[in-house]
Structure 1
């Protein structure tokens, strides 16, 4: 074996051994030009408006579509995965209307912190060993990690557009290391979805316009996390009690049967986030929200958007005991909260009760709030 090949082999073995040592479940390597189809697919996604209000996707289109535009010196991309598969069925809470459903990935510490800390450890040791430059990314830069992960052989992008692994199912956090070092590349994984459409059929809001094509504007994860304004009234009842993200398409994947036994690094959810009560969250002011979700990815959406989501869950609950918890929020400083309080109360109160409550509230300073009251009054028999 020529000297250059031996060096590539040693460095490849080294980075994979470091990944395993730091608790990553999978580590594979791909070339920077491994996703030539990405630019056209991303352009089509953006042109259709499927990105919703995520303007940053369009602003970074060129760098996102091609790793070589993001960093011209990159010669190899190492992709890492960590399994976060739950020990329980995350859909069980959906049958508890007085409880809130928080996505599995957000029931622990912020995965960005967990992944990035370990990636930096790997990168530091690898850079010294290789004498090369490195950059690490965990959902913090315009990197298309799922297509790169598929190209590296970690799995394939399923019909729900998420990565699926034959050994870890759909429950994978991804991160990447870009380097100027020369490494050996792994073979891509082929698609193993076959005729299965379990993930597509599981979506509560019909967000998949076709297999492998997601319209984020209808996705509960987008609506409850990324979307800042009022949520489409037609979609609110379908959200149910999901207040942060949605695991339905992931949980429906048959390949998950391998995930539970595959990872030694299973992250343990905070008990108070597995099936928390809706009422307690409705009382959150900003300090209480920040304190409760300290170190959690939920904290990033802010108190107002979070309480907006909780009010949707309250309105869908059918639990009249929540009326008393929603009433103060009708006068909240946040228009997003006031408007959703109006919707929730219109669902929990009788028509007569709501008309009496809403009398005189059509003069709110915010146009969206006025629309909520008008829409609710019109809908009430």
Structure 2
């Protein structure tokens, strides 16, 4: 492709990306992108992916763009700002209400971003006669290193992408294409000596700067982890029931981030600090209805109520004990176990002993029985 044609095609991509609602667009060379195989293998060998088996299964394709699609020549990285209206850490002081990660308070961003990627990719294919493939973060693409390579930002010490324009509040998507587009310059690291994101982590999930142990991360524990929350992390979770914004929210670069436009990803009002009392009453049908179109729906009712019960146990609010007692008889062992822990925290020894005498003899699940026995 001649330089003039390439310039016009790049201008076309920029224009269409902005028209589709993306706030930033940059290009990396698929061929010259550095391989991430060594660092990915170290992460997996250390077991830091926890139970996310899919990371092992896709490791071969994830390490380099051309391992995923050998014909790719360019990777167009696109970003959408989802900066919050208010300080997302303020809710942590209101222990009887639920803290839901900013990104999950509206429609499922996978659907929003993917739909807009397809718009841009379709127009690029028609214009350039090139093949295209679109990916959001459910695909085996290391989006954050590619975004850094393309110049959208850099990976901060919390391992998330940081932008000089948008701080830590960006959704990422990518378009792989056979079109040859001139790559942008990579962004350099601007974290300096700052370690705010490392120091605020409630569960010490960063073994070192730029390294994450997902097994200790509240986002992993509340979303990806399917079993009981390990006891060592429960108190530190506070009222965070879906994800954790702490390391993102304290990033000093957020001062440059604008609030997300209303036409893009404005938070649902009923997901800004909902009362735990309401969430604890959700059965499967009510859960599905309430979270229709939300990414939260993906984890299912039982995991979600498990998280809400941990928050209830941390609330110090005895008014929540009644709902927790009901859930101690839930059909789900995962829910029952979390309910026992919450009751242990909310009730005095005498009241808890009465429940123990009534409910423990009926219990058959070993993990739930262990929860009943933990106070003994």
TM-score by length of 2: 0.97
Indicate the residue corresponding to 2:236 in structure 1. 238
Indicate the residue corresponding to 1:21 in structure 2. 19
User: Of residues 140, 160, 163 in structure 1, which corresponds to 2:161?
Assistant: 163
Deviations 1:224-254 (A, max 9, x none): 0000001110100000000000000000000
Do the aligned residues in 1 keep the contact of 2:82 with 2:260 (CA within 8 Å)?
no
Sort the Cα spacing of 1:316 and 1:34 in 2 relative to 1 into closer, same or farther, 3 A: farther
Indicate the residue corresponding to 1:51 in structure 2. 49
The 2-side partners of 1:346 and 1:78 are apart by 52
The 2-side partners of 1:262 and 1:294 are apart by 22
Indicate the residue corresponding to 1:329 in structure 2. 327
Indicate the residue corresponding to 1:39 in structure 2. 37
Deviations 1:99-118 (A, max 9, x none): 00000001111111111111
RMSD of Structure 2 on Structure 1 (CA): 1.3
Indicate the residue corresponding to 1:298 in structure 2. 296
The 2-side partners of 1:362 and 1:45 are apart by 43
Do the aligned residues in 2 keep the contact of 1:39 with 1:66 (CA within 8 Å)?
yes
Equivalent residue of 1:331, what SS? coil
The 2-side partners of 1:151 and 1:261 are apart by 26
CA-CA distance at 1:268 after TM superposition: 1.2
Q: Gapped runs of 5+ residues in structure 1? A: none
Sort the Cα spacing of 1:322 and 1:34 in 2 relative to 1 into closer, same or farther, 3 A: farther
Matched, 1:110 2:112: no
CA-CA distance at 1:140 after TM superposition: 2.3
Do the aligned residues in 2 keep the contact of 1:166 with 1:255 (CA within 8 Å)?
yes
Deviations 1:62-84 (A, max 9, x none): 10111111111100000000000
Do the aligned residues in 2 keep the contact of 1:25 with 1:263 (CA within 8 Å)?
no
The 2-side partners of 1:309 and 1:33 are apart by 43
User: Of residues 164, 184, 187 in structure 2, which corresponds to 1:186?
Assistant: 184
Equivalent residue of 2:300, what SS? helix
Sort the Cα spacing of 1:116 and 1:245 in 2 relative to 1 into closer, same or farther, 3 A: same
CA-CA distance at 1:267 after TM superposition: 2.3
The 2-side partners of 1:293 and 1:110 are apart by 10
CA-CA distance at 1:34 after TM superposition: 4.2
Indicate the residue corresponding to 1:215 in structure 2. 213
CA-CA distance at 1:92 after TM superposition: 0.6
Deviations 1:189-243 (A, max 9, x none): 0000000001001111110000000000000000000000011101000000000
Indicate the residue corresponding to 1:30 in structure 2. 28
CA-CA distance at 1:16 after TM superposition: 1.3
Do the aligned residues in 2 keep the contact of 1:23 with 1:82 (CA within 8 Å)?
yes
Indicate the residue corresponding to 1:280 in structure 2. 278
Point out 4+ residue stretches in structure 1 off by more than 4 angstroms: 261-266
Indicate the residue corresponding to 1:370 in structure 2. 369
The 2-side partners of 1:334 and 1:181 are apart by 51
The 2-side partners of 1:365 and 1:9 are apart by 68
Sort the Cα spacing of 1:133 and 1:125 in 2 relative to 1 into closer, same or farther, 3 A: same
Do the aligned residues in 1 keep the contact of 2:84 with 2:260 (CA within 8 Å)?
no
Deviations 1:150-176 (A, max 9, x none): 000000000000000000000000000
Equivalent residue of 1:168, what SS? coil
Do the aligned residues in 1 keep the contact of 2:143 with 2:174 (CA within 8 Å)?
yes
Equivalent pairs counted in the alignment come to 375
